[in-house]
Structures are given as structure tokens and as C-alpha cells.
């Protein structure tokens, strides 16, 4: 309740079309009912990450319905958006004289989850551009934070591709690098002064 920032990686659309779940649960297709959006407000969420690979499980209309709800709520978001231009924008947050800049992107897809000029979705990762953006932010005295939807594996040890990509961003100067994809709890480390949570 006293946290300055409550970050949530929201991977599902809040839509009226979301059915009541009935077992057996055979498909990995996810959504949430709009009334449950209140939970985000209840827990004080104020930074929503939209890099997840289930954002488009119920299609473009459901995703845009969720985006309208999110925008109406006034909760800040990043890593995804109503179109590609919106999805690639980092989120700047001022706090007691500190300016944090949140970057987020999706590496594995699937392709239908990536935002385009005409459709909403997650920000597709461009590692070269992301490294440059983090380095640029540092020159202005801002504090870069990077979060990924990376490849998934149910194991404690991060995969080598995770380590390479996330450590690279830490070495570029991101003070926090965090993965939002793990299906099992994964390790964490420091790279220089940067905190990396795989």
C-alpha cells in the first residue's frame, strides 16, 4: 500500500466477451472480465506493462476495449499500445526529482501480438534501437528501466539468450532489467550496479 510504484505486467484483454471459464482448461487462451479491472486500482497499480504474448487472444476488438478502459482509468502504460506508434513510446515518470523511463518489448511473439501501424498490440523488440535509447536516456540524467516478454522456460536458471539480452541492457546502463515471461520463478543478479531479474 505504501509503494511509490506498483508495476503489473498485464497479459490479457479486459473484455465483455470474456466467457466464464469452465473446466477442463485445454487451451491457453486468456482474458478477463471488465469488472476485474477494479483489482488494478485496488492494489494501487500505477505502471502497467503491455508486452505479454496473450494480449490478442480474443482479437483486436477485445484488446482495443481494454486499451480504452486503461486510458480512461488514467493508469500509465508502456510496452504496448493502440498501434505501433503508441506501443514503442517509453513511459516517463517523475518522482521526487527523479525521472524514470520505462521501456518494454516482446521478443518471441507470436506475430499476431505485435503492434503495427494499423493494429494494437505489444512493442516488438528491436535490440539495437533499445540499447541506443537506454544509452541516450542516461546522457540526460534519466533513470532507464527495461522489461521484457522473453522466451519462456519453466526452469530456475535463465536461458542463455535471456542472459545475453538482459545483461546487454544492464551493461548499456538500465538500472533495472526484468523479465515478465517466466512460468517458474527465475534467478536474479547484479550486472555492475544494475539489478537484473530474469
Nearest Cα neighbor of 53 from 119, 112, 116, 118 is 112
Percent of the chain residues topping a pLDDT of 90:
84
CB 39, CB 73: distance < 8 Å: no
Residue with the three cell numbers 530456475 = 156
pLDDT at 56: 96
Nearest to 10 by CA among 40, 35, 38: 40
Q: Return the pLDDT at 26.
A: 64
Q: Are 31 and 15 in contact (CB under 8 A)?
A: yes
Burial class (CB in 10 A: 0-12, 13-18, 19+), 83: middle
Look at residue 167 and tell me whether its pLDDT is greater than 90: yes
User: Under 8 Å CB-to-CB from 167, ≥6 apart: which residues?
Assistant: 177, 191, 196
Is residue 8 a contact partner of residue 48, using CB atoms and an 8 Å limit? yes
pLDDT at 135: 98
Mean pLDDT of 32-47: 94
Q: What is the pLDDT of residue 117?
A: 98
Q: For residue range 136-148, list pLDDT tens digits in order.
A: 999 999 999 999 9
- pLDDT single digits (tens) 57-91: 999 999 999 999 999 999 999 999 999 999 999 99
Tell me if the pTM is above 0.75. yes
Backbone dihedral region of 64: left (phi > 0), alpha (psi from -120 to 50 degrees) or beta?
Answer: alpha
Amino acid at each position: 500500500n505504501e509503494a511509490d510504484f506498483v508495476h503489473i505486467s498485464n497479459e490479457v484483454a479486459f473484455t465483455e466477451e470474456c466467457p466464464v471459464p469452465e473446466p477442463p482448461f485445454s487451451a491457453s487462451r486468456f482474458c478477463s472480465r471488465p469488472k476485474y479491472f477494479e483489482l488494478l486500482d485496488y492494489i494501487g497499480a500505477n505502471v502497467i506493462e503491455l508486452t505479454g504474448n496473450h494480449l490478442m487472444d480474443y482479437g483486436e476488438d477485445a484488446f482495443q476495449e481494454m486499451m480504452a478502459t486503461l486510458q480512461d482509468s488514467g493508469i500509465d502504460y508502456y510496452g504496448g499500445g493502440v498501434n505501433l506508434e503508441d506501443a514503442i513510446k517509453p513511459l516517463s515518470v517523475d518522482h521526487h526529482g527523479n525521472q524514470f523511463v520505462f521501456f518494454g518489448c516482446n521478443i518471441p511473439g507470436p506475430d499476431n501480438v505485435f503492434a503495427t501501424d494499423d493494429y494494437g498490440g505489444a512493442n516488438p523488440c528491436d535490440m539495437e534501437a533499445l540499447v541506443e535509447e537506454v544509452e541516450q536516456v542516461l546522457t540526460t540524467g534519466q533513470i532507464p528501466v527495461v522489461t521484457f516478454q522473453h522466451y519462456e522456460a519453466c526452469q530456475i536458471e535463465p536461458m542463455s539468450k535471456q542472459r545475453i539480452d538482459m545483461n546487454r541492457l544492464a551493461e548499456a546502463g538500465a538500472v533495472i532489467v526484468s523479465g515478465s515471461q517466466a512460468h517458474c520463478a527465475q534467478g536474479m543478479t547484479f550486472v555492475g550496479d544494475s539489478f537484473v531479474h530474469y
